[in-house]
Structure 1
């Protein structure tokens, strides 16, 4: 077992520079970072202890759409400064989510076309999820922002470009000064497990995601850890849009209560109990399934 201390309060871009994040209602963190706890690493995923009904179900992939079963996964996840999870309440996204004119991805694309470009050394990802929007407005997004660990229950379309500048483009965040006064912002309190199930983008993710979602929900429910809407406590489980790496399906992203993210690949239902026991409960990362995230793998396991 090995321990690696994450970058903590420093976030490095590809040019090893650090930029300051604007103050957000008393929550001051470097741009694109949050305090993170150290995780330990274990080499392999422990086997399941019970059969919930489909624990040993094997996803059946098309002959011409295989997965890389023996791939070395560490380092296959993109290096991100920030990741947004957008609550859409459905999984019927087009193959390219920006083709949906009302999507946050379309907003980002339109901003780029209008000259509001990304900073070249600052990477972010926008991911749609099946999480239910927390707003009655039809012209607003509900957004989780990581690793800042912030939740925006209602970001009006009219403030979308300002949001992009303020939180996703460090060189332009001053142009949207005062945005925090116009938005409700909360620290996130519920961990999230997001499973890539973007079927219109790649059939492999569409095949395995429902199996994994069902198994995660069963295992968490058995342990009393599944999200309960009446109490507002527990871990939320959702399907998400394309995150890259079809050949590593199933792709599972875990965002803990501190904003740390852990990306797993080649996950099957039989791995779920081990992931919950090791990663969710014990803060230990299963290296054999680990693609990346905000925790870097120790060299001795690489």
Structure 2
């Protein structure tokens, strides 16, 4: 992933999947797996006092996936098969010892604390965080009604499997979040990582979504597997930054964004831990 001068640090918690009978009913709380942080020094630890926190309840789905990767449409548990692609961005090997008093953890949570997290999730080229203004969604976010469903299905029809610009070597992650939605109807606001850009009030029309995919989601260069394609086919699969001129001008994301996973209807442990995470972070 090319981040230019800024880099992203990703921190997560690995949770084993729970049986369906162990899952709690849906809860309008929030869920925490990914910290995407613009930074120039990978060894720098941002002081908590300077950390503006955004609480986000997130539910994700992959639009494309390499054939060798495990195939699940909604991403909840981490894959047990390590990705063959190596991470090139700075990452946290282990969490440092706490410097403050931490809330007591429930003793009965079945959490794998020993297996390494690195390369346990399929790599993706871009993470699109959709601002929905909601804290709970359908099990498959493509089944959401209104702007969220329109946006997801529109993007899926372009670069998803079977789409007009589908590329199995370019994985895009879509996540629904509780960040405030767009005010105008039939528009979508989204955050892009690791591009660290926010696009406000994008129309959900087919031309606008096609330009969005071309400007921000398609690859800048194609996999060697595509060598035999015609020039027109290659152009259709390749990013075209000029398409951005037809969309709202993006705002740079210059502060850390923390996504907290707390969709209790999919994993009861998230519903339990989200309260601890959400209340403890401001206190530090």
Shorter-normalised TM-score: what interval?
0.5 to 0.7
The answer to whether residue 239 in structure 2 is matched with residue 173 in structure 1 is yes
- Which residue does 1:105 correspond to in 2? 152
TM-score, L = length of structure 2:
0.55
Q: 1:126 aligns with which of 159, 163, 174?
A: 174
The answer to whether residue 164 in structure 2 is matched with residue 116 in structure 1 is yes
Q: Trace 1:54-133 onto structure 2 (pairs within 5 A).
A: 55-58=103-106, 60-61=108-109, 66-101=110-145, 102-103=147-148, 104-111=151-158, 112=160, 115-133=163-181
Cα distance in 1 for partners of 2:125, 2:183 equals 30
Deviations 1:247-294 (A, max 9, x none): xxxxxxxxxxxxxxxxxxxxxxxxxxxxxxxxxxxxxxxxxxxxxxxx
Q: 2:100 aligns with which of 45, 49, 52?
A: 49
- Which residue does 1:215 correspond to in 2? 280
What root-mean-square deviation, in Å, do the aligned CA atoms of Structure 1 and Structure 2 show? 3.0
Cα distance in 2 for partners of 1:44, 1:149 equals 24
Cα distance in 1 for partners of 2:242, 2:2 equals 27
Q: Please, which runs of 5 or more residues in structure 1 have no aligned partner?
A: 1-5, 11-34, 220-302
Paired residues of 1:94 and 1:201 also in contact (CA < 8 A): no
Q: 2:190 aligns with which of 132, 139, 143?
A: 143
Q: 1:157 aligns with which of 180, 195, 204?
A: 204
Cα distance in 2 for partners of 1:74, 1:148 equals 21
Please state how far the C-alpha of 1:91 moved relative to its aligned partner. Answer: 1.4
Cα distance in 1 for partners of 2:166, 2:266 equals 24
Cα distance in 1 for partners of 2:129, 2:112 equals 27
Change (3 A) 1:217 1:59: farther
TM-score, L = length of structure 1:
0.52
Kindly tell me the number of residue pairs found equivalent between the two proteins: 182
Please state how far the C-alpha of 1:155 moved relative to its aligned partner. Answer: 0.9
Please state how far the C-alpha of 1:147 moved relative to its aligned partner. Answer: 1.2
Cα distance in 2 for partners of 1:59, 1:214 equals 19
